[in-house]
Structure 1
Amino acid sequence: MTIAHKAAEIFVADGDTSATVERIAEAAGIATRTFYRHFPVKEDVVRPLFRHSSQLVIKALRDAPADGDLVEVLVVAWMSALEEQVVGPSERRFMAVVAASPQYRLRWMEVDDELSEAVAQFLAQRIGWSERPLERSLPAYLVVQATRHVFMQWITSETGQDIADLLREAFHMVLDGVRAPSG
Protein backbone atom coordinates (compact mmCIF):
# COMPACT_ATOMS: atom_id res chain seq x y z
CA MET A 1 0.00 0.00 0.00
CA THR A 2 2.89 2.37 0.69
CA ILE A 3 4.14 1.99 -2.87
CA ALA A 4 0.62 2.43 -4.26
CA HIS A 5 0.06 5.58 -2.20
CA LYS A 6 3.37 7.07 -3.34
CA ALA A 7 2.47 6.34 -6.96
CA ALA A 8 -0.94 7.97 -6.47
CA GLU A 9 0.69 11.08 -4.96
CA ILE A 10 3.03 11.36 -7.93
CA PHE A 11 0.23 10.80 -10.46
CA VAL A 12 -1.85 13.54 -8.82
CA ALA A 13 1.10 15.96 -8.67
CA ASP A 14 1.98 15.30 -12.32
CA GLY A 15 -1.62 15.17 -13.54
CA ASP A 16 -0.91 11.96 -15.43
CA THR A 17 0.45 8.43 -15.03
CA SER A 18 3.73 8.91 -16.88
CA ALA A 19 5.99 8.68 -13.80
CA THR A 20 8.67 6.04 -14.17
CA VAL A 21 8.97 2.97 -11.98
CA GLU A 22 12.32 4.34 -10.82
CA ARG A 23 10.71 7.56 -9.63
CA ILE A 24 7.91 5.72 -7.82
CA ALA A 25 10.37 3.33 -6.19
CA GLU A 26 12.58 6.21 -5.06
CA ALA A 27 9.58 8.03 -3.55
CA ALA A 28 8.58 4.83 -1.73
CA GLY A 29 12.14 4.31 -0.47
CA ILE A 30 12.59 0.98 -2.23
CA ALA A 31 14.73 -0.43 -5.02
CA THR A 32 13.30 -0.82 -8.51
CA ARG A 33 13.69 -4.59 -8.16
CA THR A 34 11.52 -4.51 -5.05
CA PHE A 35 8.85 -2.61 -6.98
CA TYR A 36 8.83 -5.35 -9.62
CA ARG A 37 8.55 -8.04 -6.94
CA HIS A 38 5.25 -6.50 -5.90
CA PHE A 39 4.02 -5.35 -9.32
CA PRO A 40 4.97 -7.20 -12.51
CA VAL A 41 4.09 -4.09 -14.55
CA LYS A 42 3.88 -0.46 -13.49
CA GLU A 43 0.14 -0.22 -14.09
CA ASP A 44 -0.53 -2.84 -11.39
CA VAL A 45 0.55 -0.32 -8.75
CA VAL A 46 -3.03 1.01 -8.47
CA ARG A 47 -4.61 -2.38 -7.75
CA PRO A 48 -4.02 -2.31 -3.96
CA LEU A 49 -5.89 0.99 -3.71
CA PHE A 50 -8.91 -0.33 -5.59
CA ARG A 51 -8.79 -3.68 -3.77
CA HIS A 52 -8.79 -1.89 -0.44
CA SER A 53 -11.93 0.00 -1.47
CA SER A 54 -13.53 -3.24 -2.61
CA GLN A 55 -12.76 -4.91 0.71
CA LEU A 56 -14.43 -2.03 2.55
CA VAL A 57 -17.55 -2.41 0.38
CA ILE A 58 -17.62 -6.18 0.95
CA LYS A 59 -17.29 -5.70 4.72
CA ALA A 60 -20.14 -3.17 4.71
CA LEU A 61 -22.34 -5.57 2.74
CA ARG A 62 -21.58 -8.42 5.14
CA ASP A 63 -22.34 -6.21 8.15
CA ALA A 64 -25.54 -4.77 6.64
CA PRO A 65 -28.83 -5.38 8.43
CA ALA A 66 -30.80 -8.17 6.78
CA ASP A 67 -34.00 -6.16 6.70
CA GLY A 68 -32.67 -2.88 5.30
CA ASP A 69 -33.80 -1.43 1.98
CA LEU A 70 -31.60 -3.05 -0.68
CA VAL A 71 -30.74 0.17 -2.54
CA GLU A 72 -29.95 1.99 0.70
CA VAL A 73 -27.76 -0.88 1.90
CA LEU A 74 -25.78 -0.70 -1.36
CA VAL A 75 -25.47 3.09 -1.13
CA VAL A 76 -24.27 2.85 2.48
CA ALA A 77 -21.73 0.16 1.53
CA TRP A 78 -20.10 2.28 -1.17
CA MET A 79 -20.36 5.48 0.87
CA SER A 80 -18.74 3.81 3.88
CA ALA A 81 -15.76 2.91 1.70
CA LEU A 82 -15.50 6.53 0.52
CA GLU A 83 -15.85 7.92 4.02
CA GLU A 84 -13.29 5.57 5.56
CA GLN A 85 -10.76 6.55 2.92
CA VAL A 86 -11.66 10.23 3.18
CA VAL A 87 -12.05 10.91 -0.52
CA GLY A 88 -11.18 14.53 -1.00
CA PRO A 89 -10.03 16.62 -3.97
CA SER A 90 -6.67 14.83 -4.23
CA GLU A 91 -8.29 11.39 -4.33
CA ARG A 92 -10.80 12.58 -6.90
CA ARG A 93 -7.91 13.87 -9.05
CA PHE A 94 -6.20 10.49 -8.67
CA MET A 95 -9.34 8.69 -9.83
CA ALA A 96 -9.64 11.11 -12.78
CA VAL A 97 -6.01 10.50 -13.79
CA VAL A 98 -6.50 6.73 -13.57
CA ALA A 99 -9.76 6.92 -15.51
CA ALA A 100 -8.06 8.92 -18.27
CA SER A 101 -5.48 6.18 -18.88
CA PRO A 102 -6.76 3.00 -20.56
CA GLN A 103 -4.08 0.80 -18.95
CA TYR A 104 -4.88 2.04 -15.45
CA ARG A 105 -8.64 2.09 -16.00
CA LEU A 106 -8.32 -1.60 -16.94
CA ARG A 107 -6.86 -2.35 -13.48
CA TRP A 108 -9.86 -0.61 -11.90
CA MET A 109 -12.16 -2.74 -14.05
CA GLU A 110 -10.34 -5.95 -13.13
CA VAL A 111 -10.76 -5.25 -9.43
CA ASP A 112 -14.42 -4.41 -10.05
CA ASP A 113 -14.83 -7.82 -11.70
CA GLU A 114 -13.50 -9.41 -8.52
CA LEU A 115 -15.96 -7.35 -6.48
CA SER A 116 -18.86 -8.54 -8.63
CA GLU A 117 -18.69 -12.04 -7.12
CA ALA A 118 -19.08 -10.71 -3.58
CA VAL A 119 -21.96 -8.49 -4.70
CA ALA A 120 -23.54 -11.51 -6.43
CA GLN A 121 -23.41 -13.48 -3.18
CA PHE A 122 -24.92 -10.55 -1.28
CA LEU A 123 -27.74 -10.07 -3.80
CA ALA A 124 -28.46 -13.81 -3.97
CA GLN A 125 -28.88 -13.93 -0.20
CA ARG A 126 -31.06 -10.82 -0.15
CA ILE A 127 -33.25 -11.60 -3.16
CA GLY A 128 -33.16 -15.39 -3.11
CA TRP A 129 -31.97 -16.04 -6.64
CA SER A 130 -31.22 -19.49 -7.88
CA GLU A 131 -27.73 -20.64 -8.69
CA ARG A 132 -28.22 -20.18 -12.44
CA PRO A 133 -25.09 -18.33 -13.52
CA LEU A 134 -26.79 -15.54 -15.48
CA GLU A 135 -29.40 -14.83 -12.80
CA ARG A 136 -26.67 -14.76 -10.19
CA SER A 137 -23.96 -12.78 -11.93
CA LEU A 138 -25.62 -10.27 -14.25
CA PRO A 139 -27.38 -8.12 -11.61
CA ALA A 140 -24.18 -7.93 -9.54
CA TYR A 141 -22.14 -7.04 -12.61
CA LEU A 142 -24.63 -4.29 -13.45
CA VAL A 143 -24.53 -2.92 -9.90
CA VAL A 144 -20.72 -2.78 -9.92
CA GLN A 145 -20.57 -1.29 -13.43
CA ALA A 146 -23.18 1.29 -12.49
CA THR A 147 -21.04 2.21 -9.50
CA ARG A 148 -17.98 2.75 -11.67
CA HIS A 149 -20.06 4.81 -14.09
CA VAL A 150 -21.29 6.97 -11.19
CA PHE A 151 -17.72 7.47 -9.99
CA MET A 152 -16.62 8.43 -13.51
CA GLN A 153 -19.39 11.04 -13.68
CA TRP A 154 -18.67 12.26 -10.18
CA ILE A 155 -14.92 12.73 -10.70
CA THR A 156 -15.34 14.53 -14.02
CA SER A 157 -18.37 16.66 -13.11
CA GLU A 158 -18.20 20.17 -11.80
CA THR A 159 -21.85 20.17 -10.70
CA GLY A 160 -21.05 18.97 -7.21
CA GLN A 161 -23.95 16.52 -7.25
CA ASP A 162 -23.95 14.33 -4.17
CA ILE A 163 -22.41 10.94 -4.91
CA ALA A 164 -24.87 9.14 -2.61
CA ASP A 165 -27.73 10.54 -4.68
CA LEU A 166 -26.02 9.44 -7.90
CA LEU A 167 -25.47 5.94 -6.49
CA ARG A 168 -29.06 5.73 -5.29
CA GLU A 169 -30.34 6.73 -8.73
CA ALA A 170 -28.08 4.22 -10.50
CA PHE A 171 -28.97 1.34 -8.16
CA HIS A 172 -32.67 2.02 -8.63
CA MET A 173 -32.21 1.99 -12.41
CA VAL A 174 -30.42 -1.34 -12.27
CA LEU A 175 -32.41 -3.15 -9.59
CA ASP A 176 -35.86 -1.94 -10.58
CA GLY A 177 -35.37 -3.92 -13.79
CA VAL A 178 -34.24 -7.06 -11.97
CA ARG A 179 -36.84 -9.47 -10.72
CA ALA A 180 -36.47 -12.64 -8.80
CA PRO A 181 -36.78 -15.62 -11.18
CA SER A 182 -40.17 -17.25 -11.35
CA GLY A 183 -40.68 -20.96 -10.93
Structure 2
Amino acid sequence: MSTPARIEQQCGLRERKKAKTRLSIREHAMRLFVEQGYENTTIEQIAEAAEVSPSTFFRYFPTKEDVVIQDDYDPLLASAFLEQPASLPPLAALREAVRLVYGEVLAYDEQTILRRIQLVWAIPSLRARQMEGQIATMTMLTAAIAERTGRPTDDFAVRVFTGAVVGGWIAAVERWVRSDGEERLIGLMDEALVLLEEGLPL
Protein backbone atom coordinates (compact mmCIF):
# COMPACT_ATOMS: atom_id res chain seq x y z
CA MET A 1 0.00 0.00 0.00
CA SER A 2 1.36 3.42 -0.91
CA THR A 3 0.26 7.00 -1.39
CA PRO A 4 0.35 9.09 -4.58
CA ALA A 5 3.86 10.41 -5.28
CA ARG A 6 2.77 14.07 -5.23
CA ILE A 7 1.54 13.65 -1.63
CA GLU A 8 4.71 11.80 -0.58
CA GLN A 9 6.95 14.48 -2.12
CA GLN A 10 5.37 17.17 0.06
CA CYS A 11 5.58 15.19 3.32
CA GLY A 12 8.30 14.15 5.75
CA LEU A 13 8.64 10.55 6.96
CA ARG A 14 6.24 11.02 9.87
CA GLU A 15 3.63 12.63 7.64
CA ARG A 16 4.00 9.85 5.05
CA LYS A 17 3.36 7.24 7.74
CA LYS A 18 0.29 9.16 8.86
CA ALA A 19 -0.91 9.38 5.25
CA LYS A 20 -0.56 5.61 4.86
CA THR A 21 -2.52 4.98 8.07
CA ARG A 22 -5.21 7.36 6.90
CA LEU A 23 -5.36 5.62 3.54
CA SER A 24 -5.57 2.19 5.18
CA ILE A 25 -8.49 3.29 7.35
CA ARG A 26 -10.30 4.72 4.32
CA GLU A 27 -9.73 1.64 2.15
CA HIS A 28 -11.03 -0.74 4.83
CA ALA A 29 -13.98 1.56 5.48
CA MET A 30 -14.91 1.66 1.79
CA ARG A 31 -14.66 -2.13 1.56
CA LEU A 32 -17.00 -2.52 4.53
CA PHE A 33 -19.42 0.06 3.16
CA VAL A 34 -19.65 -1.92 -0.08
CA GLU A 35 -19.97 -5.28 1.68
CA GLN A 36 -22.51 -4.41 4.38
CA GLY A 37 -23.79 -0.90 3.66
CA TYR A 38 -22.80 2.50 4.98
CA GLU A 39 -25.43 2.69 7.71
CA ASN A 40 -24.66 -0.84 8.96
CA THR A 41 -20.92 -0.23 9.30
CA THR A 42 -19.63 1.04 12.64
CA ILE A 43 -16.48 2.96 13.47
CA GLU A 44 -15.44 0.03 15.68
CA GLN A 45 -15.67 -2.35 12.72
CA ILE A 46 -13.61 -0.01 10.53
CA ALA A 47 -10.95 0.36 13.22
CA GLU A 48 -10.74 -3.39 13.74
CA ALA A 49 -10.40 -4.05 10.00
CA ALA A 50 -7.65 -1.41 9.72
CA GLU A 51 -5.94 -2.80 12.84
CA VAL A 52 -6.11 0.48 14.74
CA SER A 53 -7.97 1.52 17.86
CA PRO A 54 -11.18 3.58 17.69
CA SER A 55 -9.26 6.45 19.30
CA THR A 56 -6.74 6.28 16.44
CA PHE A 57 -9.61 6.35 13.97
CA PHE A 58 -10.84 9.59 15.53
CA ARG A 59 -7.38 11.17 15.26
CA TYR A 60 -7.67 10.82 11.48
CA PHE A 61 -11.41 11.22 10.93
CA PRO A 62 -13.67 13.12 13.37
CA THR A 63 -16.75 11.19 12.18
CA LYS A 64 -17.67 8.25 9.96
CA GLU A 65 -18.89 10.75 7.36
CA ASP A 66 -15.41 12.24 7.14
CA VAL A 67 -13.99 8.92 5.91
CA VAL A 68 -16.01 9.47 2.73
CA ILE A 69 -15.93 13.27 2.49
CA GLN A 70 -12.37 14.28 3.34
CA ASP A 71 -9.48 14.15 0.89
CA ASP A 72 -6.01 15.66 0.56
CA TYR A 73 -6.26 17.00 -2.96
CA ASP A 74 -7.26 20.67 -2.63
CA PRO A 75 -3.88 21.85 -1.25
CA LEU A 76 -2.08 19.88 -3.98
CA LEU A 77 -4.23 21.50 -6.66
CA ALA A 78 -3.65 24.99 -5.25
CA SER A 79 0.09 24.41 -5.08
CA ALA A 80 0.27 23.05 -8.66
CA PHE A 81 -1.84 25.98 -9.89
CA LEU A 82 0.44 28.57 -8.30
CA GLU A 83 3.52 26.83 -9.69
CA GLN A 84 2.40 27.26 -13.31
CA PRO A 85 4.27 29.83 -15.47
CA ALA A 86 3.07 33.39 -15.01
CA SER A 87 2.53 33.62 -18.77
CA LEU A 88 -0.42 31.21 -18.54
CA PRO A 89 -3.87 32.74 -18.00
CA PRO A 90 -5.73 31.39 -14.93
CA LEU A 91 -7.89 28.84 -16.79
CA ALA A 92 -4.91 27.46 -18.69
CA ALA A 93 -2.95 27.22 -15.44
CA LEU A 94 -5.86 25.41 -13.80
CA ARG A 95 -6.08 22.95 -16.70
CA GLU A 96 -2.42 22.09 -16.27
CA ALA A 97 -2.77 21.79 -12.49
CA VAL A 98 -5.74 19.44 -12.90
CA ARG A 99 -3.74 17.34 -15.36
CA LEU A 100 -0.80 17.07 -12.96
CA VAL A 101 -2.69 16.44 -9.71
CA TYR A 102 -5.79 14.52 -10.74
CA GLY A 103 -3.93 12.68 -13.47
CA GLU A 104 -1.80 11.10 -10.74
CA VAL A 105 -4.52 10.75 -8.11
CA LEU A 106 -7.04 9.12 -10.46
CA ALA A 107 -4.45 6.82 -12.00
CA TYR A 108 -3.63 5.69 -8.48
CA ASP A 109 -7.12 5.04 -7.12
CA GLU A 110 -9.94 6.09 -9.45
CA GLN A 111 -12.35 3.32 -8.46
CA THR A 112 -12.14 4.09 -4.74
CA ILE A 113 -12.80 7.76 -5.44
CA LEU A 114 -15.76 6.81 -7.64
CA ARG A 115 -17.22 4.63 -4.87
CA ARG A 116 -16.79 7.47 -2.38
CA ILE A 117 -18.64 9.94 -4.59
CA GLN A 118 -21.39 7.42 -5.34
CA LEU A 119 -21.90 7.05 -1.59
CA VAL A 120 -22.04 10.82 -1.17
CA TRP A 121 -24.76 11.12 -3.81
CA ALA A 122 -26.75 8.23 -2.38
CA ILE A 123 -26.83 9.25 1.31
CA PRO A 124 -28.50 12.55 2.34
CA SER A 125 -26.26 13.18 5.35
CA LEU A 126 -23.18 12.82 3.17
CA ARG A 127 -24.61 15.13 0.50
CA ALA A 128 -25.10 17.80 3.15
CA ARG A 129 -21.51 17.41 4.36
CA GLN A 130 -20.23 17.50 0.79
CA MET A 131 -21.63 21.01 0.45
CA GLU A 132 -19.27 22.06 3.25
CA GLY A 133 -16.42 20.49 1.29
CA GLN A 134 -17.37 22.40 -1.85
CA ILE A 135 -17.39 25.67 0.08
CA ALA A 136 -13.92 24.83 1.44
CA THR A 137 -12.70 24.12 -2.11
CA MET A 138 -14.08 27.46 -3.28
CA THR A 139 -12.33 29.24 -0.41
CA MET A 140 -9.03 27.55 -1.23
CA LEU A 141 -9.33 28.21 -4.94
CA THR A 142 -10.39 31.83 -4.39
CA ALA A 143 -7.25 32.44 -2.34
CA ALA A 144 -5.03 30.81 -4.99
CA ILE A 145 -6.61 32.76 -7.87
CA ALA A 146 -6.38 36.01 -5.93
CA GLU A 147 -2.69 35.38 -5.22
CA ARG A 148 -1.92 34.51 -8.85
CA THR A 149 -3.80 37.50 -10.29
CA GLY A 150 -2.76 40.01 -7.63
CA ARG A 151 -6.37 40.77 -6.68
CA PRO A 152 -7.99 40.69 -3.24
CA THR A 153 -9.91 37.57 -2.23
CA ASP A 154 -13.14 39.55 -2.02
CA ASP A 155 -12.81 40.79 -5.61
CA PHE A 156 -16.16 40.07 -7.27
CA ALA A 157 -14.58 38.86 -10.52
CA VAL A 158 -12.35 36.43 -8.62
CA ARG A 159 -15.31 35.02 -6.72
CA VAL A 160 -17.46 34.67 -9.84
CA PHE A 161 -14.55 32.99 -11.64
CA THR A 162 -14.11 30.55 -8.76
CA GLY A 163 -17.83 29.79 -8.61
CA ALA A 164 -17.90 29.07 -12.35
CA VAL A 165 -14.92 26.71 -12.09
CA VAL A 166 -16.27 24.78 -9.10
CA GLY A 167 -19.74 24.63 -10.68
CA GLY A 168 -18.21 23.20 -13.85
CA TRP A 169 -16.38 20.55 -11.85
CA ILE A 170 -19.57 19.60 -10.01
CA ALA A 171 -21.23 19.03 -13.39
CA ALA A 172 -18.21 16.96 -14.45
CA VAL A 173 -18.44 14.78 -11.35
CA GLU A 174 -22.19 14.32 -11.85
CA ARG A 175 -21.64 13.11 -15.41
CA TRP A 176 -18.80 10.84 -14.29
CA VAL A 177 -20.97 9.20 -11.62
CA ARG A 178 -23.89 8.77 -14.01
CA SER A 179 -21.57 7.01 -16.47
CA ASP A 180 -20.48 4.71 -13.60
CA GLY A 181 -16.91 5.71 -14.31
CA GLU A 182 -17.03 4.88 -18.02
CA GLU A 183 -16.11 8.46 -18.88
CA ARG A 184 -12.82 9.72 -17.44
CA LEU A 185 -13.21 12.30 -14.70
CA ILE A 186 -10.02 14.15 -15.59
CA GLY A 187 -11.27 14.55 -19.18
CA LEU A 188 -14.62 15.87 -17.96
CA MET A 189 -12.95 18.33 -15.57
CA ASP A 190 -10.77 19.58 -18.41
CA GLU A 191 -13.76 19.83 -20.73
CA ALA A 192 -15.55 22.01 -18.18
CA LEU A 193 -12.57 24.39 -18.11
CA VAL A 194 -12.40 24.43 -21.91
CA LEU A 195 -16.06 25.45 -22.04
CA LEU A 196 -15.31 28.32 -19.68
CA GLU A 197 -12.33 29.34 -21.82
CA GLU A 198 -14.61 29.43 -24.84
CA GLY A 199 -17.17 31.58 -23.05
CA LEU A 200 -19.71 28.75 -22.70
CA PRO A 201 -20.98 28.79 -26.30
CA LEU A 202 -24.61 27.66 -26.20
Same fold (TM over 0.5): yes
Contact 2:165-2:193 within 8 A present in 1 as well: yes
- CA separation in 1, counterparts of 2:127 and 2:186? 22
Q: Which residue does 1:28 correspond to in 2?
A: 50
Q: State the match for 1:153 in structure 2.
A: 175
Whether the aligned pair in 2 keeps the contact of 1:120 and 1:136 (CA below 8 Å) is yes
| % identical equivalent positions | 27
Does residue 44 of the first structure (1) align with residue 66 of the second (2)?
yes
Q: Give the Cα separation in 1 of the matches to 2:35 and 2:100.
A: 26
Q: Does 1:55 align with 2:75?
A: yes
RMSD of aligned alpha carbons: 3.0
Match of 2:38 in 1: 17
Unaligned runs of 5+ in 2: 1-21
Structure 1 residue 136: Cα displacement: 2.9
Instruction: Output aligned runs, 1:172-183, within 5 Å.
Output: 172-174=194-196
Per-residue deviation, 1:140: 0.9
* Correspondent of 2:130 among 99, 108, 117: 108
Matches within 5 A, 1:44-123: 44-48=66-70, 50=71, 52-85=72-105, 86-123=108-145
Q: How many residues align?
A: 175
Cα shift at 1:69: 4.6
The answer to whether the Cα contact below 8 Å between 1:17 and 1:98 also exists between their aligned partners in 2 is no
- Given that 1:54 and 1:112 are in contact with CA atoms closer than 8 Å, whether structure 2 keeps it comes out as no
Look up the SS of the partner of 1:87 in the other structure.
helix
- TM-score of the aligned structures, taking structure 1 as reference length: 0.74
Q: Return the TM-score normalized by structure 2.
A: 0.69
Q: Verify the 8 A CA contact 2:141 2:162 in the aligned structure 1.
A: yes
